[in-house]
Amino acid sequence: MIFSSFFGKNNIRRKLLKHTHSQVMREYLQTPFPSNKQLLNDVNIVSLDFETTGLDIHKDRVVSFGLVNIIELGVDLSSSCHQLVKPNQSIPESSIVIHQLTDNQLENGSDLDLVLPELLKKLSGKVMLAHNAKVELGFINTMCQKLYDTDFVIPVIDTQYLARRSLERQNQAYKSNDLRLFNLRKSLNMPSYKAHNALMDAVATAELFLAMVSKISPKYDARLSDFLS
């Protein structure tokens, strides 16, 4: 508890708010994050997915993002959002094969300096949900540093981490491929979606998370702290 009070996300948020010179980041950082003690049912969660040109946060670019809110442990499809982002560089053919977004399609996207403030508004004061969240965290942090000279911080729930933790607690052997989003959904007899569409992946992650919650906390009385990465 002492560690949490000194190094928790809200403490980091306050420090960043104090030192940032960016109005965009001030607006993002001024809203407190939920307390770790809150019941999960009372926490607003944003399921987020990025499609990128690769996994190198320094040279690759985000080409689209999708998100959907989870409110009172239900997926709010009316909140769903899918946004194309101009990468301002040529897209590798190997990347196009994966996410099916061509240079011509991305020309209709928006520039990062217009997209990022809107994304931060949607995340402000929330908890971020992602599958293998280090990808989203790494890219958002790099973008915030580049545009606003400020680090990014947010509480995170990672469905890949939750799956790995569950398997290890049960002493079950697993392969890295078993932890992929759609293989985990298949293991829970959940319907399949088209992979590598940012909005579809965000919805798929949200549904997987809710299925995990029902197994981890059948009475739905768990605290946010039980799920944070």
| 127-130, strands of its sheet edge to edge | 74-84, 62-71, 45-52, 127-130, 156-158
pLDDT tens readout for residues 168-208: 999 999 999 999 999 999 999 999 887 779 999 999 999 99
Q: Which amino acid is at 101?
A: L
pLDDT of residue 6: 46
This prediction's pTM: 0.92
pLDDT of residue 42: 97
Tell me how far apart the alpha carbons of residues 159 and 203 are, in angstroms, rounded to a whole number.
Answer: 12
What's the N-to-C CA distance of the chain in angstroms?
A: 16
The pLDDT of residue 92 is above 80: no
Residues sharing a CB contact under 8 Å with residue 128, sequence separation 6 or more, in sequence order: 45, 46, 48, 136, 137, 154, 155, 156, 157
Q: How confident is the model at residue 97 (pLDDT cuts 50, 70, 90)?
A: very low
CATH number of the domain within which 76 lies:
3.30.420.10
Tell me how far apart the alpha carbons of residues 151 and 158 are, in angstroms, rounded to a whole number.
Answer: 20
pLDDT of residue 104: 65
Average pLDDT over residues 33-50: 97
Tell me how far apart the alpha carbons of residues 73 and 207 are, in angstroms, rounded to a whole number.
Answer: 10
pLDDT of residue 87: 87
* Beta carbons of 196 and 99 less than 8 angstroms apart: yes
* Domain membership of residue 55 as a residue range: 2-226
Total domains in the fold of the chain:
1
pLDDT tens readout for residues 80-90: 999 999 987 66
The Cβ of residue 19 has, within 10 Å, a number of other Cβ atoms equal to 11
The pLDDT of residue 98 is above 70: no
pLDDT tens readout for residues 137-176: 999 999 999 999 999 999 999 999 999 999 999 999 999 9
Query: Over pLDDT 70: what percentage of the chain?
Result: 90
What's the sign of the alpha-carbon dihedral 124, 135, 59, 63?
A: negative
The pLDDT of residue 127 is above 60: yes
Residue 153 CA neighbour count, 13 Å, CB half:
21
- Between 24-33, 39-48, 193-202, 216-225, the lowest mean confidence (pLDDT) is in 193-202
The Cβ of residue 104 has, within 10 Å, a number of other Cβ atoms equal to 8
